[in-house]
Structure 1
Amino acid sequence: MARLYPSLKGKLGSTEYYLTVMKAADVIKEIRSADELVEWNDFTIEERLQREISWGRIKSELAPYLLNEEDRFFGSLIVDIYNDKGVDFEPLSSTFKANNKFYESAGQGFGFLVMTGGESLFALDGQHRLKALQVAITGKGKDGEFVDLPDDLTHNPDLGEEDITVIFIRHENNSHKIRKIFNKINKNAKPTSKGDNIITSEDDPFALISRKLIGPDAPLKEAQVNWRSNTLTKTSKQFTTIGTLYESAEILLSPYNLNKKELPVDLPKHYDRVKVVWETLLKEFELFTEMIHSTEIGKLREEVLVGKPVGQMALIEAIQNCKDHNKSDLHEIIQQLNKIDWKSDSEIWLHIMYEPNGRIKANSTSRKLAARVIAYMVGAELDDNEKATLLTDYRKVKNDFNALLPDPV
């Protein structure tokens, strides 16, 4: 059966392409996944792994996004036209003559992509989006089996009427060329960084809170935060990172079980809970106050644990541990935090947060143990079992089974 699609014709290098809009119902009916290509078995294991479909991700993330999000949107599918002998592009100018040469020339790129029905269509890029549309519209996933969607969601056939952008490329009986395109699209695609995701997310409450912590009237100024990376070098002028602020929000709001993909109605209250901790720390925790006003912040960062992002997160987690153990007066906690020896060469942090060669241990296991030790030192009300477990973990990391926990301050 012949098909006609309004299209924009273009060319990049030796590759001619057609930018087209299709109804979602037609997309899932007409376009197949790359693993159904005739040449698929000739692809290397690496190439095939690049396009292995994650049905779990489709079920838990992509299909719910299409069904839940009113402002849903995603990029174009890139589709190979196999057996393209009957495919033709008819420019708009061949049907509708313009008296204006300028319009007539421009009209050469606009027109209709005609397919006679003998071709096959395979997604080179966008397979997960293609299958997510299938699940969202029909409720069927792998091998045509019905998918049990989360949160009592059900499929919605009306999504089939929505418009999907598709970029068609001719197969040209040249599988080598198609494989090169396939590999460039998939192998060289770089995921966005954690910082980029925090900056751009509009449905993650921790991301919104993190961004709101930065600004002229916020606890931190833009110049004090590294937006691009979750590390700070010796020469970095910033005080902390956007990733640290994000994780601090996760830690401080852990009792509320917030969903990373849904904004709570009381988001301002949650923001205030995080904001007050940072504001108070920046005013009353002496090392933070010194750092944000120092012209030698890089030097201080190397000298004290809380100059590092992982040390700042350990500090925040210790504060939350105190709150979880009947010690909730933030001002009192910070007064006692000021009494701790935070120097990077302190015996307290050796093997806990620093290797013997002075290298920081920037992993969550080390951070969490440090947070427990800090909470113990400032008087969190641990029960006997918690104290015994902490002592065991402390001795194990120290590799000294006679070691004692640091004295409470």
Structure 2
Amino acid sequence: MDTQIPPSRATDIEAIAEARRKHDEVIADLLETSISREDALFVEVAHMGGTPSYIASVSLEWIRRQVNLTDTMPLLKRSIDKETGKLRIDEESIEIISQRSIDWSREAVLAKYLIERDTHKFPPILAVLSQPWVDDPDSEMWDEEGCAKEASIAFRRLDVRGRLGLIDLSAKSRLYALDGQHRVIGIKAALELISTGRLDVRDKDRKVKRDEMLSLDDLVAENGLDEAQLQQLGDERMGIEIIPAVLKGESRADAQLRVRTTFTHVNKQASPLTPGEIAQLDEDDGFAIVARRVAVGHPFLTRVKSAVNFKNSTISSRSVPITTLQTLTWMARTYLLAHNDYAGWATKGKELARRPEKAGLARGVADYTALWDHIAELPTFRAIAAGEPVARHRRFAHEDKTGVGYGHLLLRPVGQQALAQAVGLLHAEGMSLDHIFAKLTTLDRRGALRLDAVENPWWGVLYDINGKRISIKGRETAIKILRHMVGGLPTEKDRKVLREAIVEARSIGDGECRDYTNNIVPKSKIGLPEQL
């Protein structure tokens, strides 16, 4: 069958295609003319909850120049403390807007993140566009009833439906970050660091820390960065959503309430991830990655049904899980950091972790797996693997109707954390895991790991003797107790500090304590627990 197109029709098709190309070129030229204007921003319009918003893509340099912090809004200036420069919460400011204080210690952290990470990414900023007349009740822009004659954003549509267009950005217009202030200070700090070569490091209250600064030369050398490429950071683009400070027909009080409510709703609806969810999703923190792999791959943790709670950070006395993913991550961090091989995985302050190399991760998984191999062989854990209820070993005696609860140290997250750190330190000091766990096995068989037994050193330390519940504040003392009982503390000073902590935990007042036989004795009679 002959499917050739007649010459006349082919000519028509080519003409149509050419017309479309010219049409697109004209549109592109017109858009370029509009988009390149310095006094306007090309946007797409969105509507939600009765408030229009305007969404755009802007450069980081544009954000540096155009976006201000909310505590500089004229609306709030009367509530800024002149001495501290902070927003003073008074009757006026609390009713005008609710704005979280900026944590300036994050400035340098976010600047480093933008500079060091090739895969950096910030979510869009939500900003308010205001005009000078908004803060002038006597302006002609307010009618006799105190309502705005126009919105604070002037929008000019570029399509029939009014979905695309330009918003005017006159020299007097001001943008304030309603959500994303930390992103703004991070962007400004990163571009300052690139342009000047240095950046002061501040504390959360914006005070410059002595003898602490970021140097661009140091960052380039430490991370093998391309300095020429860094100069292009300001050209990178991200999203911004802009809402008007005032809508047409709105009173100033109503506008203030709407903006404040918008901020509140944005922050309330942004549900934070649980610690467990962070550990599940973190692909940078080497300790979280190691913990996740061991959680889903270790024979003991996979053989016992629901052994790991992947979401929550705590475990109730009646819960089935043995541990939590957050606890596994904490254990991996303290156990591995006891060895110098993993020092490079640690981060300072609020810095984001840098993903270790594959070989390092494999070594971390192997070392952490070895720890759990030994934990799984402890008598209590062997009993659980054989089918005994986890809750029975975890519950205190008074929590169990039959009075059989064993209150086991290693079935509480705080006890697992103490074990991992103590074992890590002992192992780093030269003790083999076999030797360490041989002694822990002896303690387990003797019932010496029972928290609520007065004869054991955990009583009063990790077991709140008044509230009859777990007490996490004694974790550091518990670490020292484990080290002492299994391998010994290195100095006499360490032993003295531990004895004083145990005395305080067992104190009942008037210089007296309960000793390991449940008798009331002077503080001087309390000694260290038996060392194996």
TM-score, scaled relative to structure 1: 0.85
8 Å contact from structure 1 (residues 212, 218) kept in 2:
no
Letter in 1 for 2:389: E
- Letter of the structure 1 residue corresponding to residue 475 of structure 2: R
Q: Hey, what does 1:404 align to over in structure 2?
A: 527
Q: Pick closer, same or farther for the CA change 1:209–1:50 going to 2, 3 Å.
A: farther
1:342 equivalenced with 2:449 (yes/no): yes
Distance 1:359 1:381, change over 3 A: closer
Partner of 1:76: 124
Correspondences of 1:2-401 after superposition (within 5 Å): 3-41=39-77, 45=89, 50-59=99-108, 61-83=109-131, 85=152, 87-92=154-159, 94=160, 108=161, 110-117=163-170, 118-139=172-193, 146-147=199-200, 148-149=213-214, 152-153=218-219, 156-172=230-246, 174-186=255-267, 189-216=270-297, 220-221=301-302, 223-255=306-338, 256=340, 257=343, 258-260=345-347, 261-265=353-357, 266-282=360-376, 284-294=377-387, 296-302=389-395, 303=406, 304-326=408-430, 328-340=431-443, 341-347=448-454, 348=456, 349-357=458-466, 358-363=468-473, 366-380=474-488, 382-399=490-507, 400=513, 401=523
How far the C-alpha of 1:33 sits from its partner, in A, is: 1.2
Structure 2, unaligned runs of 5 or more: 1-36, 80-87, 132-150, 201-212, 221-226, 247-251, 348-352, 396-405, 508-512, 514-522
Name the CA distance, whole Å, in 2 between partners of 1:237 and 1:293: 15
Q: Which residue of 2 aligns with 1:102?
A: none
How many residue pairs end up in the alignment?
Answer: 387
Match of 1:99 in 2: none
CA contact (8 A) 1:138 1:157 kept: no
Pairwise CA distance, 1:66:
0.6
Cross-structure match for 2:27? none
Whose RCO is larger (CA < 8 A, sep 6+)?
1
Distance between the aligned counterparts of 1:290 and 1:109, measured in 2? Answer: 70
CA contact (8 A) 2:499 2:527 kept: yes
Q: Are the equivalent residues in 2 in contact too, given 1:239–1:292 (CA < 8 A)?
A: no
- The amino acid of 1:333's aligned partner reads I
> Are the equivalent residues in 2 in contact too, given 1:23–1:162 (CA < 8 A)?
yes
AA at the equivalent of 1:351: G
Shift of 1:230: 1.5
Shift of 1:2: 5.1
Cα distance, 1:292–1:20 mapped onto 2, change above 3 Å: farther
Contact 2:284 2:356 (8 Å CA) reproduced: no
The letter of the residue matching 1:226 is: N
2:31 aligned residue: none
Distance 2:115 2:259 in 1: 33
In 2, are the aligned partners of 1:63 and 1:135 still within 8 Å (CA)? yes
Q: Is the 8 A contact 1:321 1:371 kept in 2?
A: no
Letter in 1 for 2:482: I
Give the stretch that moved more between structures: 346-355 or 150-159: 150-159
Secondary structure of the residue aligned to 1:71 is coil
Q: In the aligned structure 2, how far is the partner of 1:87 from the partner of 1:122?
A: 17
Separation in 1, partners of 2:270, 2:69: 19
Shift of 1:50: 3.6
- Identity score, percent: 23
C-alpha separation in 1, matches of 2:179 and 2:111: 17
CA 1:116–1:49 in structure 2 vs 1: closer, same or farther (change >3 Å)?
closer
Mapped contact 1:137–1:158 kept (Cα < 8 A): no
For 1:42 and 1:318, the matched residues in 2 are separated by: 54
CA distance in structure 2 between the aligned counterparts of 1:2 and 1:150, rounded to whole angstroms? 33
More moved, 387-396 vs 69-78:
387-396
TM-score (norm 2): 0.67
In the TM superposition, residue 187 of structure 1 has moved relative to its aligned partner by 6.0
Write the letter of the residue equivalent to 1:149: L
SS at match of 1:21: strand
Counterpart of 2:47, as a letter, is K
The answer to whether the 8 A contact 1:78-1:124 is kept is yes
Distance 2:269 2:124 in 1: 17
Q: Write out per-residue CA displacement over residues 90-123 of structure 1, whole angstroms, 9 at most, x where no aligned residue.
A: 143x3xxxxxxxxxxxxx3641233151422111
- Give a deviation string over 1:239-285, Cα, whole Å, max 9, x none: 10111111111111223323241233323212222121012211x11
Query: Are the equivalent residues in 1 in contact too, given 2:194–2:231 (CA < 8 A)?
Result: no
Answer with 336-345 or 20-29: which moved more: 336-345
* Structure 1 residue 335: Cα displacement: 1.8
